[in-house]
A and B are shown apart, each in its own frame.
Chain A
C-alpha cells in the first residue's frame, strides 16, 4: 500500500483555487522532490497534508496508509506519523525547547496508546540527536526558536524529526535562508533518517538542495498540478532550462 496517496486534489484559499487536481503517490522508503516556481502551489500542498486551517479542499482526497487524512485533526496526523518541517519555524517565547519536545513527544505517544517516555531516556535521546546536529545544549533551554539563526531553526526541525521518528517527512523549502554549511548539516541529519519504512517529500525551488538530499523521484509542479515526473536527472534539466517550459504546458 502507498504511504501517501493524493488523488485529484482541488484546494481553495479564500475563493481562489490554488491546486487544480493534483495527484501524487509516495511509497515507503522513497524520497520525492517537488520542484516548481513560486506560486505553483508547493507550500499549499504541504500545508494541506499537515492540516493547516484556512484551506478548503473542494474535490479529491488524501490517503495516508489508506486512511482519510483530511478527516483528521493536525495532531492526529502527527501522531499517525506525518511531519511537516516548516519553511519558517515559528518562535514561541516562554516555552522552553526541552519542555516543548517532551510535551509533543508524549502527546503523540499517548495518542498512539503508548507509555510516556521516562525522563532519563528522553534526555539521553535528545542529547544524542542534538549533538549529531551540532545543536548546543543551551539552545534546548531557550524558548522554542527564540533568538535562533535561520540555520538553527532548520536544525531544530530536523531534531524534532529525529526525535518523533515520523513515517512521512515533508520538508518545505528547507534550504531557504541557509548558507552552504548550515544546509549540509541539516541535509546530513535528514539523510540519517532515510529508511525503508520512511518516505520524504522534499519541496524546493532550487536544485541545490537535491545535491545533498538525493531524490528517487522528481515532480515538477506548475499552476496547481504536477506537470511532469521523472528521476533525479529531471532536477538537473530544470536547473539548466528553468521552469518557463512548464508554465506554458500547464
Chain B
C-alpha cells in the first residue's frame, strides 16, 4: 500500500479544495507561503476526529465529512438577501461590520458611525498589499489546532479593528457573518485590538439568509486587550439548521483589564466555539459565560482554555446547556495555572438540562495547576427538569410547556445574568425566549 492510498477520502477532498482555491485566495509571496504551510499543518491531521483528545466529543470526520470550497464573492442578489437577514439581527445601536459569504461588504456596514479613534480595514486588502511585510503574520496564531490551520490556509476576508488608547466607544461594534450561498464555506479571520484603557463592546453574530442551506463557517477572531481596557463581548450563533460553524477565538489580555464575555449557540447542525484565553497581565478579571440551546440533531460544542500566565487574575466561567430531542451538547473547560501565577482565582461551572431521553451532554472540566497558592474549582451537573417543580407550577395553572419554559428560563438566567451590559442582556434573553416559544 502506498501513502497516497492510505489517505482518507476526507484528506483528499480537502487537498482538492485547497488546490482548486489557492490561486483565487488573496495574497501572494509570503502570504501564499503562510497559507501553504498552514494547509500542510492541517493535512497532518485532517478533519479532527475522536482519537484527538481535544476533539473527542466532536468527531468532525463523522459529523461533517467534507471540507467545502470557499464561496464565490457575493453578487448584488446575494447582498440584497444578506441585507434582509441583517434587519433581523440588529443589536440595539451597534455599528455593523458585515461579512457576506466570507467577504467584507462595505455597503452594508456602518463604517461612518465609528468615529475617531477606531480604524477598520478589510483583511483582504491587507493580505493583497504586497508591500506590507507583516501581512502574513495575520495568518499565524499561538494556538495549534487543525481547524485554525485550515482557516489560515483558506481565509478570504475579515476585519481588522484597532481602537486607540483611552478611547471609549459609544456604540457597540457588531461583526455580522451572513451566509447567502449554499453548499460552500466562509473562511473568515478578524483581529480586534483594544488600546490601553479603552472600552468597547463587540458583538459577533452568525446568521444564514433566507434559503441558505448546508453551508460551513470557519471563523477565527484574534483579540488583544490592552492594559486597563474593558471589553464586553457577545457572540450569537444562530446559523441555519443544517449549517456547520467552527469558530475559534484567541484572546490575550494585559494587566488590570476587564473582560465580560458571553456566547450563545442556538443554530447549526454541528458547531464548535473554541476559545483560548491567555491572562498575560496581573489584576485582570475575566467573566466568560454562555448558553447552548440545542434540539433536533444539533451538536453544539463549547471548548475553552483559560490560561492564567501571571499572578492575581480572576476567571469565572458559567455555562448552561438546554438539550432537547436528539441534541448533543459538549462543554470542555480547561483552566491552566502557570507556576508563577500565584493568587489565581479561577472557577468554572457548567450545567446541562436534558429535555428528552435521547438528549446528550458531555462535560469535561480540567484543572492544570502548577502554582501552590491558588483558589480554583469546577462543577458540572446534568439532569432533567425537577418533577416536583413542574407539578407545583402546573397545579398553579401553567401548562406543561409553559411550566417547562419558565423553569428553563430560570436555568438559563443563571448564565444570562452574568452579561454586564443591560441592552445585550435583554437582547440575549429575547433570543432565548424565542427559542423557547418555538418549542411550545
A associates with B: yes
- Cα A12 to Cα B410 with chains together (Å): 34
Q: A107 touches which one: B387, B399, B410 (CB < 8 A)?
A: B399
Contact indicator per residue, chain B 383-403, by CB within 8 Å of chain A (1) or not (0): 000111101111111111011
Could you pull out 30 A-B pairs where Cβ atoms are within 8 angstroms? Answer: A51-B395, A52-B391, A73-B399, A74-B394, A74-B395, A75-B394, A75-B395, A75-B398, A75-B399, A75-B402, A77-B395, A78-B394, A79-B397, A86-B392, A86-B395, A90-B388, A90-B392, A92-B392, A92-B410, A95-B409, A103-B398, A103-B402, A104-B396, A104-B397, A104-B398, A105-B397, A107-B397, A107-B402, A111-B397, A160-B396
**Interface status of A53 (Cβ within 8 A of chain B):** yes
**Is B410 in contact with A108, judged by CB distance below 8 angstroms?**
no
Residues of chain B within 8 A (CB-CB) of A100 are 393, 396, 406
Q: How many chain B residues touch the partner (CB < 8 A)?
A: 23
Contacting residue for A73 out of B387, B389, B392, B394, CB 8 A: B394
Q: Tell yes or no: B365 within 8 A of A by CB.
A: no
Chain B residue with minimal CB distance to A112?
A: B397
10 closest cross-chain pairs (CB), A and B: A94-B410, A108-B397, A78-B397, A104-B396, A74-B394, A107-B397, A95-B410, A94-B413, A90-B392, A75-B394
A contact residues around B410 at 8 Å (CB): 92-95, 143
Residue of A nearest to B391 (CB): A52
Q: Is B349 an interface residue (CB 8 A)?
A: no
For the complex, give the distance between the alpha carbons of A89 and B393 in Å.
11
1/0 per residue, CB under 8 A from B, across A128-148: the answer is: 000000000000000100000
Q: Which residues of A, 68-116, contact B by the 8 Å Cβ criterion?
A: 73-75, 77-79, 83-84, 86, 89-90, 92-95, 100, 103-105, 107-108, 111
Bound CA–CA A103/B396 (angstroms): 9
Determine how close the nearest CB of chain A comes to the CB of B381; give it in whole angstroms: 14
Main secondary structure of the interface of B (DSSP, over half): helix
A79 surroundings in chain B (CB, below 8 A): 397
Any B CB within 8 A of the CB of A64: no
Contacts of B387 in A (CB 8 A): 53
Most buried by B among A53, A75, A111: A75
List B residues 404-418 near A (Cβ within 8 Å): 406-407, 409-411, 413-414
Chain B min CB distance to A63 (Å): 19
Contact between B409 and A104, CB atoms less than 8 A apart: no
Spell out B's residues near A (CB within 8 Å): 386-389, 391-400, 402-403, 406-407, 409-411, 413-414
CB neighbours (8 Å) of A86 from chain B are 392, 395
Task: Report the minimal beta-carbon distance from A80 to chain B, rounded to whole angstroms.
Answer: 10
Question: Chain A residue with minimal CB distance to B405?
Answer: A103
Shortest Cβ gap from B168 to chain A (Å): 33
Instruction: Evaluate contact between A94 and B397: CB separation under 8 angstroms.
Output: no
Apart from the given pairs A90-B386, A94-B411, 8 other A-B contacts in the complex at a CB distance below 8 Å: A75-B397, A78-B395, A95-B407, A103-B398, A104-B393, A107-B398, A108-B397, A164-B396
Pick the contact of B396 from A53, A73, A78, A93 — CB < 8 Å?
A: A78
Q: Which residues of A contact B (CB under 8 A)?
A: 50-53, 73-75, 77-79, 83-84, 86, 89-90, 92-95, 100, 103-105, 107-108, 111, 143, 160, 164
A residues near B399, Cβ cutoff 8 Å = 73, 75, 107
- Shortest C-beta distance, B14 to chain A (Å), equals 45
Contact present for A50 and B395 (CB under 8 Å): yes
Contact B407 A84 (CB under 8 A): no
Q: Complex formed: what's the CA distance from A22 to B398 in Å?
A: 29
Q: Name the distance in Å between A124's Cβ and chain B's nearest Cβ.
A: 20
A231–B65 alpha-carbon span in the complex (Å): 77
Contacts of B409 in A (CB 8 A): 94-95
B-side contacts of A53, CB under 8 Å: 387, 391
State the Cβ distance, A46 to closest chain B Cβ, in Å.
Answer: 10
- Chain A's closest residue to B410 (CB) is A94
Contacts of B406 in A (CB 8 A): 95, 100, 103
Q: State A90–B391 Cα separation when bound (angstroms).
A: 10
B396, B399, B403, B406 — most chain A CB neighbours (10 Å)? B396
B398 (CB) vs chain A CBs: closest residue: A107
Alpha-carbon separation in the docked complex, A111 to B402 (Å)? 13
The complex places the Cα of A164 from the Cα of B395 at a distance, in Å, of: 12
Q: What is the chain B residue whose CB lies nearest that of A78?
A: B397
A84 to B409, CA, bound (A): 25
Chain B residues with CB under 8 Å of A92's CB are 389, 392-393, 407, 410
Contact partner, B395, options A84, A103, A111, Cβ 8 Å: A84
Chain A positions within 8 Å of B394 at CB level: 51, 73-75, 78
Distance (whole angstroms) from the CB of A82 to the closest CB of chain B: 8
- Nearest Cβ distance between residue B417 and chain A, in whole angstroms? 9
Q: How far is the CA of A105 from the CA of B397 in the complex (A)?
A: 7
Q: Considering the chains assembled together, what is the distance between the CA atoms of A108 and B398 in angstroms? A: 7
**Whole-angstrom CA separation of A51 from B392 in the bound complex:** 10
Q: Which residues of A contact B395 (CB under 8 A)?
A: 50-52, 74-75, 77-78, 83-84, 86
Pairwise interchain contact B397-A90, C-beta atoms closer than 8 A: no
* Closest chain B residue, CB of each to CB of A144: B392
A95 and B413 CA atoms in complex are apart in Å by 9
Residues of B within 8 A of A90 (CB): 386, 388-389, 392
B397 partner residues in chain A, CB cutoff 8 A = 75, 78-79, 104-105, 107-108, 111, 164
A53 vs B387: C-alpha distance when bound (angstroms): 9
- Which B residues are CB-close (under 8 A) to A107? 396-399, 402
User: In the complex, what distance in Å separates the CA atom of A90 from the CA atom of B407?
Assistant: 13
A89 touches B392 (CB 8 A): yes
Taken together as a complex, chains A and B put the C-alpha atoms of A104 and B406 apart, in Å, by 11
Provide the residues of chain A in CB contact with B403, threshold 8 Å: 75
Contact partner, A94, options B388, B392, B414, Cβ 8 Å = B414
Interface centre among B389, B395, B413 (most CB of A within 10 A): B395
Closest to B414 in A: A94
CA distance A110 to B402 in the complex (A): 13
Chain B nearest CB: distance from A62 CB in Å? 15
Contacts of A75 in B (CB 8 A): 394-400, 402-403
- For B387, the closest partner residue in chain A by CB is A53
